[in-house]
């Protein structure tokens, strides 16, 4: 059984914008490129908005997730401020990446550099049902760090 292919319309907001593509047959994410005219410097702990120059028409029932590229995170310290970005199916504007330099030195993003990757994920909307009680579980209300201390 092969992969399911979802068709997503793409619009270039800038003629020089790059259409994302998968680097390998097994890639789950397609690379987003920086649609900038000149190099962009990012100081340590500085947050920036890096435009991609593209917009998408995502089918209802799906979202596009924007994720950091591991190579940039390791080599330059570039990460996403929100950890993981969500592009909703009804958004039609230009996609931009909210990035932060977590390194100790100023880094430079070059025009057309791969800055993030995008993943297409199936989503479901849900409804809330208010209650006064939640069902019991083995974990209960034990919070942060509690799962590593349990004996099996």
Q: Which domains are delineated in the chain?
A: 9-125 (2.70.40.10)
What's the whole-number average pLDDT of the chain? 92
Residue-wise burial string across 2-19, b where 16 or more C-beta atoms lie within 10 A, e elsewhere: eeeeeebeeeeeeeebbe
Distance in angstroms (rounded) separating the CA atoms of residues 97 and 2: 31
Kindly state the DSSP code that residue 77 receives in the 8-state scheme.
Answer: -
Residue 147: pLDDT band (50, 70, 90) is: confident
Sign of CA dihedral 121, 28, 97, 12: negative
Q: Write down the pLDDT at residue 86.
A: 95
Would the pLDDT of 150 be above 60?
Answer: no
pLDDT tens, position by position, 4-21 = 789 999 999 999 999 999
pLDDT tens, position by position, 55-85 = 999 999 999 999 999 999 999 999 999 889 9
Higher pLDDT, 97 or 150: 97
């Amino acid at each position: 059984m092969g992969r399911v292919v979802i068709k997503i319309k793409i619009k270039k907001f800038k003629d020089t914008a790059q259409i994302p593509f998968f680097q390998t047959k097994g890639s789950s994410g397609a690379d987003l490129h920086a649609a900038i005219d000149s190099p962009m410097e990012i100081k340590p702990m500085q947050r920036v908005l890096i435009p991609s120059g593209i917009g998408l028409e995502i089918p209802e029932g799906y979202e596009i997730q924007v994720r950091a590229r591991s190579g940039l995170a390791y080599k330059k310290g570039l990460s996403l401020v929100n950890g993981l970005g969500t592009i909703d199916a009804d958004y039609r504007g230009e996609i931009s990446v909210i990035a932060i330099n977590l390194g100790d030195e100023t880094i430079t993003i070059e025009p057309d550099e791969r800055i993030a990757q995008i993943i297409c994920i199936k989503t479901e909307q849900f409804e809330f049902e208010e209650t006064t009680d939640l069902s019991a579980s083995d974990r209960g209300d034990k919070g942060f760090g509690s799962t590593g201390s349990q004996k099996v």
